[in-house]
Amino acid sequence: MRGSQIQTSIVADEALLDGLQRAAFSYFLEAVNPVNGLIADTSRDGSPCSIGVVGFALSVYPVAVERGWMTRADAVERTLAALRFFHDSEQGEGPETTGYKGFYYHFLDMHSGARVWRSELSMVDTALLVAGMLTAGGYFRANTPREAQLRGLVESLYLRIDWRWSQSESKTIRMGWKPESGFLKYAWDGYSEAIVLYVLALGSPSHPIEGGEKAYRAWTATYQWENLYGYDFLYAGPLFIHQFSHAWIDFRGIRDRFMRDKRCDYFENSRRATEVQREYARRNPHSFAGYDENCWGLTACDGPSQPLPERADPRRRLFGYAARGVPYGPDDGSLAGWAALASLPFAPEAVLCAARSMRQRYPEMLPADQYASSFNASLAGADRAAWVAAGHFGLDQGIVLVMIENHRSELIWRLMRRCPHVRAGLQRAGFRGGWL
Amino acid sequence: MRNHHNHDSTRPGERELLESVHPTGRRNPQPAPCYSLVVIGGGTAGLVTAHAAAALGAKVALIERNRLGGDCLNVGCVPSKAIIRTSHLYAGMRHAEQYGGQIPADIRVDFAAVMARMRAIRARIGRADSVQRLEAAGVDVFFGQARFTSSDTLTVDGLKLRFKKAVIATGSRPDTPSIPGLVEAGFLTNENVFDLTELPRRLLVIGGGPLGCELAQAFCRFGAQTIIAQSWPLFLPREERDAAQLLADAFARDGIEVRLNTTAVNVRVENGQKLVDLVSEDYKSTVAVDAILTGTGRVPNVEGLDLQAAGVDYDSEEGIRVDDFLRTSNRRIYAAGDVCLEHKFTHTADASARIAVRNALFPGRQRLSALTIPWCTYTDPAIAHVGLYVRQANHRDIPVKTFTIPMHDVDRAIADSEEAGFVKIHVRERSDRILGATIVARRAGDMINEITLAMVAGVGLRTLARVIHAYPTQADAIKQAADAYNRTRLTPLLRSLLRRWLQR
């Protein structure tokens, strides 16, 4: 390619990314309750708030300010609304509070902010929420009363979380707790999106988890380092696991003991996970429509479920909302376009190529330029358009927006690299080197 | 060795089996003045012990309180594998189209015929465990309950036996879960499920261990509406997460209603059906079924033996306490099989019996811990394992790396439409030394043997890569894993040297 062609291509990529990022941002403007700053889990009618989505919202407001999509004052007000809500909401053991021990329930009523769906007090979703708060606290550093108040709220909300309690009797952090039945049986087992949870839980100056690096290592003791399709990597099937902690933490060049032993880092690991997804899609063991090295993205998403339109093969099993993954599935032919794009920082060339190809072949997966949770080309209708999940999901919009930004400007990574709690948490987990 | 069987000896196959394993009207022989070895229990461990000791020229007595052959032959591996084979057949008929075949118009399950085949197979295999074979080998066989009377004597059926050495191999029995109302409502375990004459229309399986998983799938394929409730988040909690996940997927494909993280808390009978209350965290539900099968673990048979009289230490849950040489707290007495082992498998019973014989009769110092023990759960796909799990290696600070071959990369698995599964071989990082392996495949049990052989013989992946595997076989996955290992040996330096050589 000649110089001018390269230049044209870069400009085209920037325009594409900018458009997708901006479209994703509009979700946070439409799905917000401006009174309390809560954001709906999905755009579907009656959707409650998901606290993880609020964490993403708090992370994208600074992006919007930097990109000129929102005034700083507006961003500060939106952030303050959410922080005040969480600060003032009811914390307690009862079944209809907003949180307990500084953690919050996974799903909250959009208006009252009380727990809904008998959801669990969620450790990892609280971590996503708090990561967003700390991002906001790192960005709004101006010496104004509003921004000072904002920073104060962030600090107090972070400090009040009793991470130690979340270990219950075990070394590792429990996945959740319910007032009706106590801690969930599930514990974090195997590599997952929980690094950011451990970093925040270790970095707390007030209630850090007990055991320090030992607690972190108790979690990494369930890691599986595998050679699959010719790639050595820390295995996890669904793609989002290789992305969510990276929304906030720049893992380039920093290594915990596990990664030092493996001569790798989590960023490089996510690049390899991207390659493994491409390899799986190229093999396409179930012969689904569309799959190839430029059309992939198996992750937790909302796919088709039974009963399905008559066009479907009755023997086909469909999994609805499920953590799809490679290489063992579940795989029903549903791919998440957003998940492919959210790997942008790890493998820019391959990901851009896939993003363009998928968008061109299945424009229906991007209603209003916002990624649907999934599409399924094997269930194409008479118009040959792929089946597309209804509405939009906040987590999908958040991760796409933030990962594009990290690729373009590293804004979120830069803010969090400066956060003393994150640095402390990483160091206590045994991370060394690089920017640390 | 159990005492509460309720087999109907009039059924075909049953008479022949009984003639081998507990002939009616037979009288116990007159005991010898002193035996070199007395074996208590005529299951796998006991039979292997008795035959091995007799072959070495020892004067041996074997005592069995019920039927020779033990759980494996009578109510375990043998009958379950026989019916699982038939269940595969029915699954094959229902999925015929997947193979370009026609689904038979009318698939009817003749449950009585399934069970008759099972009994015929059991009788045939039972010939190897017969009284006649033991007697021909020179073993005195006594039927009855053994009770120790001192450190070197015991009684059975009013007869006193004196021994120089003894091996306790009384096995284990299914644990009864303490669910209120379960006993009153009646339930099945492996001990009576093979006596069923009719297929239950609706079956609840409590417990997601090997037995529960195997039988839930088999009964579902015979047409029973099957629910399996497992108190853990995954089936086979000891196995790798991916293996358990693949199994859960397979169950769902078969149409089993999977209830993970779920505990049965109460059972009652109403209108002839069993109502079982299930609880999953804060979610409560009630299911109505016709039969309940429990597979929630096993407890050792240590009662009724008067072990104290012989000075043998034991625990009612963990069984007889033995050292690494299988010797009990009484220097004359050894133990083998389920009664003293954590891994309650037929093949570990067999292997431990061989150690017990050597160590009891000779100044042997063979160790239990030196054994490499594989195991397999014969679901479809089957799940087999040998050696260390990754988490065990991590806990022991052994750097571990796994070479993974999904079965969808194996030509024969594709040709067989049996792509659900994988071969994972764990090696010590930066070496080819095999630490363990897990295989999920239709015939994982057969495939794991190659890995076990490699581990016992000290053969690493480099050598396995040189072993020509017949093509196309599913076991070729093992060769592919070894090839993947070889490719990782090609470091960037080595690669550039190779390039220079080729371009010279």
CATH number of the domain within which B233 lies: 3.50.50.60
Domain positions in chain A: 237-410
Kindly list the distances between the CA atom of residue B405 and the CA atoms of A115, B408, B409, B438, in Å, as whole numbers in the listed order: 44, 8, 7, 11
Mean pLDDT of the region B371-398: 95
Predicted pLDDT at A307:
65
Subunit contact A315:B390, Cβ cutoff 8 A:
no
Look up tokens 């399996």; give the residue: B228
B259 neighbourhood in chain A, CB within 8 Å: none
B488 neighbourhood in chain A, CB within 8 Å: 227, 232
A330 neighbourhood in chain B, CB within 8 Å: 249
Per-chain mean pLDDT for chain B: 94
A269 touches chain B (CB under 8 A): no
Subunit contact A285:B487, Cβ cutoff 8 A:
no
Subunit contact B424:A178, Cβ cutoff 8 A:
no
Look up tokens 């897990």; give the residue: B438
Predicted pLDDT at A3:
65
Predicted pLDDT at A299:
98
B486 touches chain A (CB under 8 A): no
Per-chain mean pLDDT for chain A: 95
Mean pLDDT of the region A167-181: 92
Kindly list the distances between the CA atom of residue A175 and the CA atoms of A139, A194, A197, A300, B147, in Å, as whole numbers in the listed order: 30, 10, 10, 17, 51
Q: Answer yes or no: do B356 and B327 share one domain.
A: yes
The pLDDT-based confidence of A192 (bands split at 50, 70, 90) is very high
Subunit contact B252:A317, Cβ cutoff 8 A:
yes
B261 touches chain A (CB under 8 A): yes
Predicted pLDDT at A185:
81
Query: How far off is chain A from B242, nearest CA to CA, in Å?
Result: 8
Predicted pLDDT at B1:
38
Subunit contact B429:A226, Cβ cutoff 8 A:
no
Structural domain count, chain B:
3
B422 touches chain A (CB under 8 A): yes
Subunit contact A228:B404, Cβ cutoff 8 A:
yes
Predicted pLDDT at A290:
96
Q: Answer yes or no: do B225 and B339 share one domain.
A: no
Mean pLDDT of the region A342-357: 97
Q: Answer yes or no: do B255 and B114 share one domain.
A: no
B284 touches chain A (CB under 8 A): no
Predicted pLDDT at A383:
87
Residue B54 lies in a domain: yes
B484 touches chain A (CB under 8 A): yes
Which of B370, B401, B426 is the endpoint of a domain? B370
B323 touches chain A (CB under 8 A): no
B245 neighbourhood in chain A, CB within 8 Å: 328
Kindly report, residue by residue over B407-456, the tens digit of the pLDDT: 999 999 999 999 999 999 999 999 999 999 999 999 999 999 999 999 99
Cα–Cα distance measured from residue A225 to residue B404, given in angstroms and rounded to the nearest whole number: 10
Query: Which of B125-157 are b and which e, b meaning 16 or more Cβ less than 10 Å from the residue's Cβ?
Result: bbeebbbebbeeeebbbbbebbbbeeebbbbbe
Q: Answer yes or no: do B395 and B364 share one domain.
A: no
Kindly report, residue by residue over A379-400, the tens digit of the pLDDT: 988 888 999 999 999 999 999 9
Q: What's the count of helices (H) and strands (E) in chain B, helices before strands?
A: 17, 23
Q: Answer yes or no: do B312 and B163 share one domain.
A: yes
Kindly report, residue by residue over B35-91, the tens digit of the pLDDT: 999 999 999 999 999 999 999 999 999 999 999 999 988 999 999 999 999 999 999
Cα–Cα distance measured from residue A188 to residue A192, given in angstroms and rounded to the nearest whole number: 8
Kindly report, residue by residue over B478-500, the tens digit of the pLDDT: 999 999 999 998 878 888 888 88
Looking at chain A, which residue has its C-alpha nearest residue B255? Answer: A317
Q: Answer yes or no: do B164 and B309 share one domain.
A: yes
Predicted pLDDT at B58:
96
Q: Which of A157-166, A421-430, B493-502 is least confident?
A: B493-502
Q: Answer yes or no: do B28 and B156 share one domain.
A: yes
- What range does the domain containing B448 cover? 381-492
Please indicate, yes or no, whether the overall pTM of this predicted structure exceeds 0.90. Answer: yes
Q: Which of B98, B282, B411, B434 to mutate to test the interface with A (most CBs of A within 10 A)?
A: B282
Mean pLDDT of the region B95-114: 95
A226 neighbourhood in chain B, CB within 8 Å: 401-404, 424
- Residue B3 clears pLDDT 50, i.e. is over it: no
pLDDT exceeding 70 applies to what percent of chain B?
Answer: 98
Predicted pLDDT at A176:
95
Q: Answer yes or no: do B82 and B227 share one domain.
A: no
Look up tokens 């929102």; give the residue: A70
Q: Answer yes or no: do B153 and B233 share one domain.
A: no
Question: In CATH, which of 3.40.50.2000, 3.50.50.60, 3.20.20.30, 1.50.10.140 is domain A237-410?
Answer: 1.50.10.140
Kindly report, residue by residue over A279-330, the tens digit of the pLDDT: 999 999 999 999 999 999 999 999 998 766 555 565 678 899 999 999 998 9
Residue B245 lies in a domain: yes
Residue B500 lies in a domain: no
Q: What are phi and psi of A51, to 5 degrees?
A: -65, -30
Q: Which of A189, A224, A261 to mutate to test the interface with B (most CBs of B within 10 A)?
A: A224
The pLDDT-based confidence of B2 (bands split at 50, 70, 90) is very low
Kindly list the distances between the CA atom of residue A79 and the CA atoms of A31, A73, A369, B504, in Å, as whole numbers in the listed order: 14, 10, 25, 66
Cα–Cα distance measured from residue B28 to residue B64, given in angstroms and rounded to the nearest whole number: 11
- One-letter-per-residue 3-state SS of chain A: CCHHHHHHHHHHHHHHHHHHHHHHHHHHHHCEECCCCEEECECCCCCCEEHHHHHHHHHHHHHHHHCCCCCHHHHHHHHHHHHHHHHHCCECCCCCCCEECCEEECEECCCCCCECCCCCEEHHHHHHHHHHHHHHHHHCCCCCHHHHHHHHHHHHHHHCCCCHHHHCCCCCCECEEECCCEECCCECCCCCCCHHHHHHHHHCCCCCCCCCHHHHHHHHCCCCEEEECCEEEECCCCHHHHCHHHHCCCCCCCECHHHHHHCCCHHHHHHHHHHHHHHHHHHCCCCCCCCECCECCCCEEECCCCCCCCCCCCCCCCCCEEECCCCCCCCCCEECHHHHHCCCCCCHHHHHHHHHHHHHHCHHHCHHHCCCCCEEHHHCCCCCCCEECCCCEHHHHHHHHHHHHHHHCCHHHHHHHCCHHHHHHHHHCCCECCCC
Q: Answer yes or no: do B399 and B413 share one domain.
A: yes
CATH number of the domain to which B450 belongs: 3.30.390.30
Q: Answer yes or no: do B34 and B160 share one domain.
A: yes
